[in-house]
Amino acid sequence: MAFVAPTAEDLGMYLGLGEIDGDRADLLIRQAVALAQSVVKPLPNDASAVVLSVAGRAYVNPQQVSYETIGPMSVQRPSGSGGLYLTKADKAALKSLAGRGGAFTVDPTPATADPSPTWPLDDLYLGDGDYEPGWN
């Protein structure tokens, strides 16, 4: 089964919004899919969680506001908390969902490798001869 991008309605449900600007949500979802595909292509089936997270951040904080005061209320958000971007956690989740997030080993030995010596054998050292003490 191929990846199916979430819809604007899915983004509205994810954010807990009763109404959502469908055109804007669709644009952000398309852009979030494009960003996710820069890490993993093709996207795994369960990548919609990451796509919704990326699009949701951009939907609720498009100007990357970090501190805001309205009347007696103020809020401070971590810097870089707005706009459309992938966090390290997003990238790690995409790689993990695609099965590429763990440790691995690579054996560079070809399957046709022969364990016998490849250097030229010298009869001088293989013949019967006197060896130094302790080498016979």
For residue 13, name the pLDDT band (cuts at 50, 70, 90): very high
Domain assignment of residue 83, yes or no: yes
Position 126 scores a pLDDT of 54
Does residue 68 fall inside a structural domain? yes
Task: Report the interhelical angle of 8-15 vs 48-60 (nearest 10°).
Answer: 70
Condensed to tens digits (0 to 9), the pLDDT of residues 16-48 reads 988 998 899 999 999 999 999 999 989 998 899
86 within domain boundaries: yes
Measured distance CA(69)–CA(114) in Å, rounded: 73
pLDDT at 82: 58
Give domain status of residue 123, yes or no. no
pTM to 2 decimals? Answer: 0.63
pLDDT, position 38: 92
pLDDT at 9: 92
Asked if residue 55 is part of any domain, the answer here is yes
* Mean predicted lDDT score pLDDT of the chain: 81
Which token pair is 19? 């109404």
Give 8's pLDDT tier (boundaries 50, 70, 90). Answer: very high
Where in the sequence is the domain holding 30, given as residue range(s)?
Answer: 8-97
Query: What is the DSSP-derived secondary structure letter of residue 55?
Result: H
Task: Specify if 132 maps to a domain.
Answer: no
pLDDT at 60: 84
User: Is pLDDT at 136 greater than 70 in this prediction?
Assistant: no
- Total structural domains within the chain: 1
The predicted model gives 94-120 an average pLDDT of: 80
